[in-house]
């Protein structure tokens, strides 16, 4: 004990005051860590619309689907409605009832928007993993992987097998308007209804 007191006194004499927090820290699920979530955005950007990039809105829609596997079957049925290969598409995904209740998800223009998206995008941007591009009128901002981001995507693919499997169903391009329409008109209504039924 004397050694500890001597250490504390020595630190204090140097003008540094030790502070020990005995409160139990809150456990953060890996899903909620910015680093993990940002890496999954790299997977989305690496699999879809790689030449032109993606808008924030479609990124949020696809991220929502990856986090809530329960809605993936419904989404595929709507996205490929009337197509002969829809059953083949359904058979390639793992069907679960996973629905993530997250207080950081809000309705923004009916899109399920995560309040941490801008932090995640900044995390990627300052590490030179993504680039922003706009049209000639300096509007219609889209996000795409930088050269460094593409290298990271190639390393990350094996870490996110279920996400890669789901996104592979849509080839290199997911129809933006159709995706946002399905998410904003069909899926969120049931999601928000389920959220409302939970006793917070």
Residue ranges, the chain, pLDDT below 50: 198-200
Is the pTM above the cut of 0.85?
no
The single-letter DSSP state of residue 54 is: B
Burial of 152 (0-12, 13-18, 19+ CB in 10 A): buried
The pLDDT value given to residue 200: 45
Environment class of 149 (CB within 10 Å of its CB; exposed 0-12, middle 13-18, buried 19+): buried
Q: Give the model confidence (pLDDT) of 22-67 as tens digits.
A: 555 555 555 567 888 899 999 999 999 777 889 988 999 999 888 8
Instruction: Give pLDDT, residue 68.
Output: 81
Strand partners for 114: 105
- The answer to whether residues 104 and 114 touch, using CB atoms and an 8 Å cutoff, is yes
pLDDT for position 156: 93
Residue 106's pLDDT is 67
């Amino acid at each position: 004990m004397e050694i500890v007191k001597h250490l504390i006194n020595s630190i204090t004499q140097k003008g540094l005051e030790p502070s020990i927090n005995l409160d139990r820290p809150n456990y953060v699920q890996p899903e909620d860590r910015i680093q993990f979530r940002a890496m999954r955005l790299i997977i989305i950007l690496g699999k879809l619309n790689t030449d032109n990039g993606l808008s924030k809105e479609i990124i949020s829609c696809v991220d929502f689907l990856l986090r809530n596997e329960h809605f993936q079957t419904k989404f595929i049925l709507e996205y490929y409605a009337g197509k002969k290969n829809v059953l083949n598409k359904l058979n390639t995904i793992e069907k679960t009832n996973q629905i993530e209740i997250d207080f950081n998800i809000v309705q923004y223009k009916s899109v399920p928007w995560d309040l941490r998206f801008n932090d995640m995008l900044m995390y990627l941007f300052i590490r030179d993993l993504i680039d922003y591009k706009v049209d000639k009128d300096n509007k219609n901002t889209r996000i795409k992987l930088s050269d460094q981001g593409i290298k990271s995507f190639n390393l990350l693919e094996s870490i996110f097998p279920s996400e890669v499997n789901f996104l592979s169903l849509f080839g290199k391009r997911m129809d933006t308007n159709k995706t946002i329409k399905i998410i904003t008109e069909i899926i969120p209504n049931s999601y928000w209804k389920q959220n409302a039924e939970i006793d917070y």
